[in-house]
Structure 1
Amino acid sequence: MTDVVLFHHAQGLTPGVLGFAEELRGAGHTVHAPDLYDGHTFGTLKAGLAHLSEIGVEEILTRGTRAVAELPAAVVFVGFSLGVVSAQKLAQTRPGARGAVLVSACVPTSYFGPWPAGVPARVHAMEADPVFRDEGDAEAARALVDEVPDAELHLYPGEQHNFADSSLSSYDAQAAALLLQRTLAFLDGR
């Protein structure tokens, strides 16, 4: 099975993120879910983003890199929203990466250098998510798909941002189930 690192969104390592990790483990994968917020979780995206502004994105990236330092090189990186930044950076820069699953976010590949040959990517988001649609993520995802031979963009009906976190009011069970199904199929090929 596959080694996976799952990075949480701006609301922290919530029960819903941990639940998604358990679903992957239940399918036989080894999943690491580092807590980049040192135990803090937030009930709203606004509160989580306020905490992020205190820490800073560079510190989150440093914590993400430190969290995987002792792990095998052959890892699939999964990120939810804010976690995409760490997942994408490591998929692009850490030798041996086996793939990336980017949920509700995508940053331009130029932030971290060229996308490495042979590293597949899957981007998942709700088609009317205002964060994904209006903050540049959708354009970055389309550019990634154009640039990377084994990259796909999956858009789901709806407008929720953190749609795959069962502990949040933004949860969409149908979309989350399809995300899980597609992620498991992706991991089986790694």
Structure 2
Amino acid sequence: MTEIVLFHHAQGQTDGFLTFADELRAAGHLVHTPDYYAGATFPSVEEGAAHRDEIGHPELMRRAAEGVDGVPPEVVWMGMSLGVVFAQLHAQTRPGAQGAVFLYGALPPDALGSPWPADVPAQVHGMTDDPWIDWDEEVAPFVAASGAEVFRYPGSGHLFGEVDSVDYDHEAAVLLRERVLAFAAESAPR
């Protein structure tokens, strides 16, 4: 069993997000899902991003940190889109991370003020033509610093792995889940 913290995207804890968390649980993992939107969900990424901006970065950071208070250090940090910021920050700055999985983006480590830990394996998943992912300016520097596995799926959808998303792509979602579940299984503390 791997302990996982899964941070939601800008649309909040949608049914698709919760389904993904439940699939990780069904595979035998303990999954924490901090809700820094306090139950609010949005039908589009744009509406969720407007809510994110209304809350503001400092408050979101405070809520995300509060949501993982008491979580042991030996976890796999996962984030979806907006949630990547929080997952990556914790994986970079909290000793003991077992790994990190970033769905729909990643940031250069220096954007979060610290280097990527040499012993923390990572994966990045996204669609090749996703307009919300900057593969060259954000993901490439992260991969160069971390040695992360990168999985680029054909298409332009953003939240393509979520069953209730307008971007859902069944074939890509199945492959994404297989890869994430394999990573989680390999990350279990020994």
TM-score (norm 2): 0.94
Matches within 5 A, 1:32-51: 32-51=32-51
User: Greater shift after overlay, 157-166 or 137-146?
Assistant: 137-146
The counterpart of 2:151, out of the listed 109, 130, 154, is 154
CA shift, 1:50, in A, is: 0.8
Matched, 1:72 2:68: no
Q: Is this contact kept in 2: 1:165–1:171, CA < 8 A?
A: yes
CA distance in 1 between partners of 2:136 and 2:24 (Å):
26
Calculate percent identity across the aligned residue pairs. 49
Q: Is this contact kept in 1: 2:3–2:30, CA < 8 A?
A: yes
Secondary structure at the counterpart of residue 79 of structure 2: strand
CA distance in 2 between partners of 1:104 and 1:19 (Å):
17
The 1:65/1:185 distance shift into structure 2, 3 A limit, reads same
CA-to-aligned-CA distance 1:49-97 (integer Å, 9 cap, x gap): 1101111122222211111111111010111100000000000011111
CA distance in 2 between partners of 1:173 and 1:5 (Å):
24
TM-score (norm 1): 0.94
CA shift, 1:142, in A, is: 1.7
Name the residue aligned to 1:145: 143
The 1:171/1:109 distance shift into structure 2, 3 A limit, reads same
Name the residue aligned to 2:118: 117
Amino acid at match of 1:23: E
Residues matched between the structures, number: 186
Secondary structure at the counterpart of residue 132 of structure 2: helix
CA distance in 2 between partners of 1:170 and 1:25 (Å):
24
CA shift, 1:16, in A, is: 0.3
User: Greater shift after overlay, 174-183 or 54-63?
Assistant: 54-63
The 1:138/1:28 distance shift into structure 2, 3 A limit, reads farther
Q: Is this contact kept in 1: 2:79–2:87, CA < 8 A?
A: yes
Matched, 1:86 2:83: no
CA shift, 1:26, in A, is: 0.6
Secondary structure at the counterpart of residue 143 of structure 2: helix
CA shift, 1:138, in A, is: 4.3
Name the residue aligned to 1:60: 60
Q: Is this contact kept in 2: 1:130–1:159, CA < 8 A?
A: yes
Gaps spanning 5+ residues in structure 1: where? none
Matched, 1:188 2:185: yes
CA shift, 1:137, in A, is: 4.7
Task: State the superposition RMSD in angstroms.
Answer: 1.1
CA shift, 1:5, in A, is: 0.6
Q: Is this contact kept in 1: 2:128–2:152, CA < 8 A?
A: yes
User: Greater shift after overlay, 140-149 or 116-125?
Assistant: 140-149
